[in-house]
Amino acid sequence: MRIVRHSSYIKKQKSKSKWLAVVGFVILSSAMFLAMIDGFLLIAYVAMIGGFILFNMGMQGVGRWTRNPRNDEILDARMKGLTDQVTIVHYASLEVDGKSREIDHLVVHNGGLLLLNGKEIDGQIRQKKSAWTKQGGLVRRFFGFSGPQLGNPSFENDRNVPVVEKWLAENQLEVDVMAATVFLHPKAELEIVEPDYPVLHAEELEEFLRDLPADPTFTTDEKKHLIDLLSAGEGVEQPEKQQVNRRPRPTKRVSAPKPSQVKRNSA
């Protein structure tokens, strides 16, 4: 499998998350002092709510972008058995209607383009059609506010697939697009009923990709052009051609003939 990673986007998100957490903490701290001043109680409450939101947004980002391994690295490890016919592009930026949209994980395969919606949460997760719920008490939810969130993968896929399709159309590419939700945490317990998109554990991903049908109209040149477009930008890690060091074949040496085997010319 070939891997393309937009590392500059990862660095930018790390920095942004740290600043959000710091600013949120400062606002939270200032709210306590404002509450002690007469006439500033309402402002203190507003600062406390705003600081709490910013701090938790920052901590969610810090966890996501500094975790080792990150989501993109987990996907790489789970797909490492695939051939070079498959390329995964992490955090590509797509220009659509003059706006830039980042798509976390895009897989270019022989059948088209697959969006992977990675979720790193654990616990019991239930899904029926487009409704998603995570089981757990209020205490667990409160302390998990700064951690990874489930969100609604169905709505997220519904939002991202049309963006990718429009981007392909603007670049005059006719490629089949589909999406799948992948749960990366080994302790995720899934109860899935009538899914609108495929829902997988991380360990199922490689086999899922192997089973995707190929599209004979999706040519090698089109695939290369698509990968080049998705790889555009600064700070991009792209696969390098590896030189295979082959051991030289041993030289077959012919042993010298024994003296008895040498024909002598008669004098």
Q: Where along the chain do its domains lie? A: 1-66, 68-233
Give the span between the Cα atoms of 104 and 116, in whole angstroms: 7
**Residue 2 belongs to what H/E stretch?**
strand 2-6
Q: What is the pLDDT of residue 143?
A: 54
Summarised one tens digit per residue, pLDDT across range 21-35 is 999 999 989 988 888
- Which of 26-40, 53-67, 69-83, 139-153 has the lowest average pLDDT? 139-153
Distance, CA of 72 to CA of 105 (rounded, Å): 8
Rounded CA separation 6/236 (Å): 4
Q: Render pLDDT for 136-169 as a digit per residue (tens, 0 to 9).
A: 656 556 555 556 788 899 999 999 999 999 999 9
| 258 phi, psi to nearest 5 deg | -70, 155
Q: Which residue has the tokens 């085997």?
A: 261
Please list the residues that pair with 124 across neighbouring strands: 189
